[in-house]
Amino acid sequence: MKAEITRISNGLVVITDPMVQLESAAVGVWVNCGARNETAPLMGVSHMLEHMAFKGTRRRSARDIAEEIEAVGGFLNAYTSREQTAFHARALKVDVPLALDILVDILTEPTFDPTELDRERQVVLQEIGQAFDTPDEIIFDHLQTVAYPDQPMGWPILGEEKTVSAFGRDDLFTYMGANYRAGAMTLISSGAVAHQDLVRIAEDKFAKLVPGEPQTPLPARYVGGEMRVPGDLEQAHIAIAFPGVSALDPDYYVSQVYVTALGGGMSSRLFQEARERRGLCYSIYAFANSSNDSGIVGVYTGTGENEAAEIGAVVAGEMAALAETATEAEVARAKAQLKSSLLMGLERPSTRAEMIAGHIYNYGRVLPVEELTAKLDSIDAAAVRRFGALMMVSESPAIVTVGPARKFERYDLFAERFGSKARMRAAE
């Protein structure tokens, strides 16, 4: 990626990532504001605002917004994370000005019509209910809550029924006014858009954005603990996490290689041991999620009620084995998987734009592909073993089970496999 960056007069950052071979472009605005910026009474307001932005402006109805972009074969979408809210479009290069006009309209002139808000409130409540009906989805909301209790980092992005039912139109306008400022936004295009053309459009259409910098969210504070959610399900869903590293930590890329070797594919240790050798589960994988000030490393599996009794020991055993015996061959496979995923993703303009947004948020610059691959290439088996050893002495894991998981071992027994007691056993 050879991105060009300009900050226009009101503080909005404009970035283009040329892909001259394309006839289209992905364009979007990333706002440095998400669930972490909320207060408890407004839990879920970022996500509701994302929905309501498409429900009408001073110039366009909700139907107009949909029909105008689809009339040229393009599409609009949005998403909310804990740290950012994104509004993005894909269109042919000749129609990029229209896509941008719609984007700036929904970001600067929304009406938040009360009737539309009441209707969309019901949609979001249905979305929350659907998440609870999807155990392999809701378990990660619960895991975040257990890892980061009583703080915005642990709150569900969708909010809770009581908060979504309570906040109103004025709350949306107040929240938007405090957070949707030019200095908190990045306009990104990846594809067939010239940099000066995008800057010119930005100076024209986005000039109405109020200057101002993003608000700093409260620091994340990992705690850990346990949550068990019984349910009449066929499978026991189990998620386990430990304190990880932030996206700014020197070990960030080591953590990615570590979880890929542990549970990132069919050749990974967890897949081979838990599924292939023992037949304990259909799905098992490891993950590492990082923000710019915190992170978790964990494992998810869906297993049978009886098999749940064995899975904790298998996870702990494979983590211990990787910390002691990670080989150059498996680390090379993990690095190849990560590099392949990175390079294949760069073939898609939407993926490139989202990657750029993450880089700007975390690092304040766009990391060249060569730098990313070099970081991965520099990691060897010794680094993975070192990181694995750190995981084995982690205190206070976060554990969540959903469904018939009463046979999964007690929290204190599982935790004894790690932390200070693990250190004492290693010293014996």
Rounded Cα gap, residues 413 and 315, in angstroms: 13
pLDDT at 427: 44
Percentage, residues of the chain above pLDDT 90: 95
Write down how long the chain is. Answer: 428
The confidence band for 425, taking pLDDT boundaries of 50, 70 and 90, is very low
Q: What average pLDDT does range 101-109 have in this prediction?
A: 97
Residues annotated as catalytic (active site), given as ranges:
50
Residue 339, judged by CB atoms within 10 A of its CB (0-12, 13-18, 19+), counts as middle
The confidence band for 424, taking pLDDT boundaries of 50, 70 and 90, is very low
Domains and their CATH numbers in the chain: 4-208 (3.30.830.10), 225-427 (3.30.830.10)
Average pLDDT, the chain: 96
Q: What average pLDDT does range 137-166 have in this prediction?
A: 97
Tell me the whole-structure pTM to 2 decimals.
0.94
The confidence band for 285, taking pLDDT boundaries of 50, 70 and 90, is very high
Beta-carbon contacts of 137 under 8 Å, excluding residues fewer than 6 positions away, are: 131
**Stretch (H or E) spanning 381:** helix 381-392
Q: Which residue has the tokens 């690095």?
A: 335
Note whether 397 and 296 are within 8 A (CB): no
Higher pLDDT residue, 215 or 351? Answer: 351
Residue 389's closest CA among 332, 326, 327, 338? Answer: 326
pLDDT at 1: 74
Express the helix, strand and coil content of the chain in percent, nearest 5 each: 50, 20, 30
Helix and strand totals (H; E) in the chain:
17, 11
